């Protein structure tokens, strides 16, 4: 299933959508309720919601801070807490994947984004913490740290010159992210890992 503030309804029997603000606890509870009612259980959660605002640190406003924190951290908190409770009730384990950014480990002087690193770096840290806290109960936590990933809905001109940020010489594709998440989903002996899907960006150049 999928959820966002603007997601369209789905008529597919195997895909459910929920429209709502992930920063609101009511949205998280509704997602869990509808997922359990439709599918009977929750086995995996991908925390994909995020806001990216690039500015010099002193140019950030309180509104920027509140908006980024609401989605990147508060949304994670509500959603993950609700899903973990459901997974523990089921008693068969589960898997949570958090989406973060390679800018946490490899900042770019031309792309200042301290508030993004502050919040997404928090997700990388809490991934390791929760992996240890819930390992004995079979719930795994991993993260993927992304480089520049091309989104087909964006203006393609906005990606010009960004390939050079990655040693592999190209921007990432959504399929690259999917393959990384599927690896973590099937790697039952892997937990507490931050997998970089960034064309070598975090390794340096």
Residue entry with tokens 């592999």: 168
CATH T-level assignment (fold) for domain 43-203: Rossmann fold (3.40.50)
Could you read off the pLDDT of 44-80 as tens digits, one per residue? 999 999 999 999 999 999 999 999 999 999 999 999 9
For residue 180, the model assigns a pLDDT of 98
Q: Name which of 171, 165, 173 is nearest 201 in CA terms.
A: 165
Stated length of the chain: 205
Please give the model's pTM, rounded to 2 decimal places.
0.92
Three-state DSSP at 62 gives helix
CA distances from 115 to 7, 67, 78, 82, 127 (A): 26, 10, 20, 25, 18
The residue with greater pLDDT, 180 or 108, is 180
Which of 32-38's residues contact partners 24+ apart within 8 Å by CB, and which partners? 32/82, 32/83, 32/86, 34/1, 35/1, 36/86, 38/1
Could you read off the pLDDT of 42-54 as tens digits, one per residue? 999 999 999 999 9
- What's phi and psi for 97, nearest 5 deg? -120, 125
User: Looking at the DSSP assignment, which residues form a beta bridge with residue 76?
Assistant: none
Strand order, beta sheet including 94-101? 44-47, 94-101, 139-146, 194-197
- What's phi and psi for 58, nearest 5 deg? -75, -10
For residue 62, count other CB atoms closer than 10 A to its CB. Answer: 7
């Amino acid at each position: 299933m999928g959820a966002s503030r603007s997601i369209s309804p789905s008529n597919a029997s195997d895909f459910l959508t929920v429209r709502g603000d992930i920063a609101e606890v009511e949205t998280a509870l509704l997602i869990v309720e509808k997922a359990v009612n439709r599918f009977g259980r929750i086995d995996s959660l991908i925390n994909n919601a995020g806001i990216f605002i690039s500015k010099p640190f002193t140019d950030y406003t309180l509104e920027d801070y509140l908006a980024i924190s609401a989605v990147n951290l508060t949304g994670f908190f509500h959603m993950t807490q609700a899903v973990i409770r459901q997974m523990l009730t089921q008693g068969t384990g589960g898997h949570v994947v958090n989406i973060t950014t390679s800018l946490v480990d490899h900042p770019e002087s031309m792309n200042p984004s301290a508030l993004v690193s502050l919040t997404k770096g928090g997700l990388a840290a809490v991934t390791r913490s929760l992996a240890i806290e819930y390992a004995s109960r079979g719930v795994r936590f991993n993260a993927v740290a992304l480089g520049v990933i091309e989104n087909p809905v964006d203006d393609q001109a906005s990606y010009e010159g960004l390939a050079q940020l990655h040693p592999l010489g190209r921007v990432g594709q959504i399929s690259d992210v999917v393959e990384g998440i599927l690896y973590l989903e099937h790697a039952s002996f892997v937990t507490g890992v931050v997998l970089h899907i960034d064309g070598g960006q975090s390794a340096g150049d």
